[in-house]
Amino acid sequence: MRILAIGAHPDDIELLCAGTLVLYHQKGHEVYICHVCDGNKGSMIYNSKELAKIRRNEAINSAKLIGANSIWAGISDGEVVLDLGSREKIIDVIRQANPDLIITHSPDDYHSDHVNVSRLVFEATYLANLKLWKTNYPSSDRLPYLYYMDTLAGVNFIPSEYVNISDTIETKIKMMMEMKSQLGWLKDMHNCDAPEFIKSVAKFRGFQAGVLYAEAFTQQKLYPQGLTKRILP
For Zn ion, the binding residues (CB under 5 A) are: 8-9, 12
Query: Strand 2-7 and strand 214-220: pairing?
Result: unpaired
**Would you say 8 or 202 has its CB closer to Zn ion?**
8
**Would you say 41 or 199 has its CB closer to Zn ion?**
41
Quote the least distance from Cβ 181 to Zn ion, whole Å.
Answer: 14
**Please, which residues have CB within 8 angstroms of residue 58's CB and are 6 or more apart in sequence?**
10, 178, 179, 180, 181, 182
Quote the least distance from Cβ 229 to Zn ion, whole Å.
Answer: 31
Quote the least distance from Cβ 155 to Zn ion, whole Å.
Answer: 13
Quote the least distance from Cβ 77 to Zn ion, whole Å.
Answer: 9
Taking Cα atoms as reference points, which of 161, 149, 152 lies closest to residue 18?
Answer: 149
The three-state secondary structure class of 154 is helix
Query: Strand 30-37 and strand 2-7: pairing?
Result: parallel
Contact 94, 137 (CB under 8 A): no
**Residue 192 half-sphere exposure, CB side, CA atoms within 13 Å?**
16
Quote the least distance from Cβ 166 to Zn ion, whole Å.
Answer: 25
Taking the C-alpha atoms of residue 26 and residue 71, their distance in angstroms, rounded to an integer, is 20
Q: Decide: residue 142, CB within 10 A, 0-12 exposed, 13-18 middle, 19+ buried.
A: exposed
**Would you say 12 or 14 has its CB closer to Zn ion?**
12
**Would you say 9 or 87 has its CB closer to Zn ion?**
9
**Would you say 9 or 95 has its CB closer to Zn ion?**
9
